[in-house]
Structure 1
Amino acid sequence: MNVNWLKTPALALMSALALSAPVVAETSGTATQKEGTMTKIEFIFGEDRLSATLDDTAAGRDFAAMLPLELTLTDYHGVEKVADLPRKLDTTGAPASYKPETGDITLYAPWGNLAIFYKPFQNSRGLVRLGAFDGDIAPLVRSAPYTVRLEIAD
C-alpha cells in the first residue's frame, strides 16, 4: 500500500479529521443526552393538576430546587399570571430577552417574579424561560387571585 499521500501535511490533517469525525459525533450525542434531562413538575390548585416540563438550564434547575412551593397567582394585564418568588434565581447563561408563547413558564429577572403566559407576548428584555406546560392551561385563566402548589412530579 502506498502511503506517500500522508506525507503532505494538509492531507494528513484532513485524513485525521475524517477518521475522528464519527468519534466526535458519538461523543457529542452522548453529552446531549446527559444534558437533556428535564424536570417534570405539577401545578396543583383545587381539583386541577397541570403538568409542565422545566428546561435544563441554570434558571430551570434553580427553580426546581425551590420546590415544593406555594404561590399566589394574580393576573397581569390579561396576558399572564404572576407570583413573587422567595428568592432570585440563577440566570447564568440566559439570553438578555425572550419572546413568550402561550403556556410558557418564565422568570421576569428584574422583579424576580414568576410569569406564566396564557397569551403570547412580545420579546421582552429580562424575561427568562424556565419551561412550559405540557398541555391545556385553560384552568389557570381565572380572574381572582388564587393559591397554587408546585411540586416535582412523581
Structure 2
Amino acid sequence: MRRSSPLTLQLKDYAGEEKISDLPSRLPTASSPAGTAVKKGDITIYAPWGNLAIFYKSHGYERGLIKLGQLDEPDALPVHPDSYSARFELLTDK
C-alpha cells in the first residue's frame, strides 16, 4: 500500500446533515455531472462553493454536488462536536 500526503481539515456541521470544510484549493469540476443525490457516508464536493462535504444523513438530489467516494464505515463519522479537525489520507494499491 502506498499513502498520499495527509491533509488535515477543520470539519464543521452544516444543515444538520453534513460536515463541511474548505479545501486548500478548488478541485476541477468542469466535466462532472450536474448534481447527485447522496447517501449517509458519501464524500462530495459542492461545486458552487468548492468545499468538501461528508454526509451523515441521506439527502435528495442537489445540483452542484459531485460524489467523490464513500466512507467505509459511515456510522463512524462523528456527528458531535459540531466542529473538529480530521486527517485525510489516500491509500493506493501501488
Q: TM-score, normalization: structure 1?
A: 0.54
Query: In the aligned structure 2, how far is the partner of 1:114 from the partner of 1:139?
Result: 14
Aligned-residue CA RMSD in angstroms? 1.9
Pairing 1:117–2:51 present: no
Match of 1:79 among 17, 23, 29: 17
Say which structure, 1 or 2, has more relative contact order (CA 8 Å, 6+ apart): 2
Aligned length: 90
Once the two structures are TM-superposed, the CA of residue 142 in structure 1 deviates from its matched residue by 1.3
Does 2:34 correspond to 1:132?
no
Secondary structure of the 1:82 match is: strand
Distance 1:139-1:126 versus aligned 2 partners, 3 A rule: closer
Q: Which has the higher strand share?
A: 2
Instruction: Compare CA radii of gyration and give the structure with the larger one.
Output: 1
Whether the 8 Å contact between 2:37 and 2:60 is mirrored in structure 1 is yes
Moved more, 133-142 or 79-88: 133-142
Amino acid at match of 1:151: E
Looking at structure 1, the residues matched to 50 and 15 of structure 2 have their Cα atoms a distance apart, in angstroms, of 18
Q: TM-score, normalised by structure 2?
A: 0.85
| Gap runs ≥5 in structure 2 | none
User: For 1:97 and 1:121, how far apart are their aligned partners in 2?
Assistant: 12
Shift of 1:127: 0.5
> Is the partner of 2:60 in helix, strand or coil?
coil
1:136–1:98 distance in 2 versus 1, CA, 3 Å: closer
Whole-angstrom distance in 1 between the partners of 2:72 and 2:12: 21
* Higher helix proportion: 1
Out of 66, 85, 88, the position equivalent to 1:150 is 88
Q: Distance in 1 between the 2:48 and 2:76 partners?
A: 27
